[in-house]
Amino acid sequence: MSRIKLFMLVSMIMIFLLSACGTKPNGPVIVRVTLKDFAVESSVTEFKTGVPYHFIVTNEGQVVHEFMIMPITMDSMGMPGMSGMSMEQRDAMAFMMIPQEELSAGATAERDYTFTTIPQGNIEMVCTLAGHFEAGMHAPVTIK
């Protein structure tokens, strides 16, 4: 093999290896969530099971918030049926949560989460700190 051909072969292998490095598998889907006094807004509201999501949650409010994705059942008064529940019980129901310790005013917290099952019923992004849900901090999502 001539030097030129060897050089070309090596070059082609290098180019192949470099381009192979450039084609990374798709990363997680970015979900930007904004918490306000008192609302929850999300760039994604329709989720699919098996897809990795990267949640970037920012508290743009003046007070501390938390972030949870959980099933919500409303009672006959249109209030969330979790008034009798302890914080531990609510946490156990949640698919994912970012506690208030990480979401003081102005803070941003991040989590990776992949839905594995299609839940029954009404699923919402919520903040369940006292009075916040009732003030408007809940937004329905769908999981397919």
- What mask of x and - would describe binding to Cu ion in positions 19 to 58, judged by CB under 5 A? ----------------------------------------
Query: 31 or 98, CB closer to Cu ion?
Result: 98
Query: 107 or 129, CB closer to Cu ion?
Result: 129
| 132 makes contact with Cu ion (CB under 5 A) | yes
Provide the β-strand partners of residue 18: none
Query: 113 or 134, CB closer to Cu ion?
Result: 134
| 129 makes contact with Cu ion (CB under 5 A) | yes
Q: Which stretch binds Cu ion (CB under 5 A): 40-48, 78-86, 102-110, 133-141?
A: 133-141
